Amino acid sequence: MLTRPDRKSAMSQISDHMKSVLLENEENPFPLKIITHPKSVRKRHVHVYETKTAGAFLKVRGSDTRLSTIGQTFLDMLQKPDLCGGMDHILDVWEEHAATYLDDIVSAVDTAASDLVKSRAGYILEERLGLRHSGIEKWKALGQRGSSRKLDPSKAFAPTFSETWMISLNVQ
């Protein structure tokens, strides 16, 4: 998967970049355009996901390539589980690696605009994995009683739920 800015954001970034490298009255003889990507690479389909919010990243030394931080990657899993192998796979990944990257995950989830994502992360980290972190405690106040919030957005609402995180536990 390749994530890039949506068209409007990309054009704004291109414009800002050109303003920073050109002299005040200099005209650009080679205007920059949005790059298109091949539909497949080495016989594998390339899924391009466009977003207004890129999230936290690291720049690869000596290039303009940006890589998602580990905390951002965990956050992305909860924001778009369908693009990350589904919630069952995500739970496996969190079970195996969340303890190692707990500080990074909590920092990234704190930046999320969605309270639902914080409830999902809190449930997984605290109730499912038994991990503790002071940042998780702040998320508990963000739960919404009586809502139809689900752990897995692709599955039907289940009657089993977390009282603490006020979320339907529709995954085994």
Count structural domains, the chain: 2
- Residues 13 and 50 both lie in one domain: yes
Q: pLDDT tens track of the chain, all 172 residues?
A: 777 788 888 888 888 888 888 877 777 777 777 778 889 999 999 888 888 777 888 888 888 788 889 999 999 999 999 989 999 999 999 999 999 999 999 999 999 988 999 999 999 999 999 999 999 999 998 877 767 789 999 999 999 999 999 999 999 8
- The DSSP secondary-structure symbol of 46 reads P
Dihedral of the CA atoms 55, 61, 63, 68 (nearest 10)? -20
- Provide the residue type at 7 as one letter: R
* Residue 81 domain boundaries: 70-168
Q: Do 90 and 132 belong to one domain?
A: yes
pLDDT of residue 16: 85
156 and 106 in a common domain: yes
Tell whether 16 and 81 lie within a shared domain: no
Asked if residue 129 belongs to a domain, the reply is yes
Q: Which 8-state DSSP code applies to residue 125?
A: I
Same domain for 77 and 42, yes or no, is no
The reply to whether 31 and 101 lie within a common domain is no
Residue-level pLDDT at 66:
82
pTM: 0.81
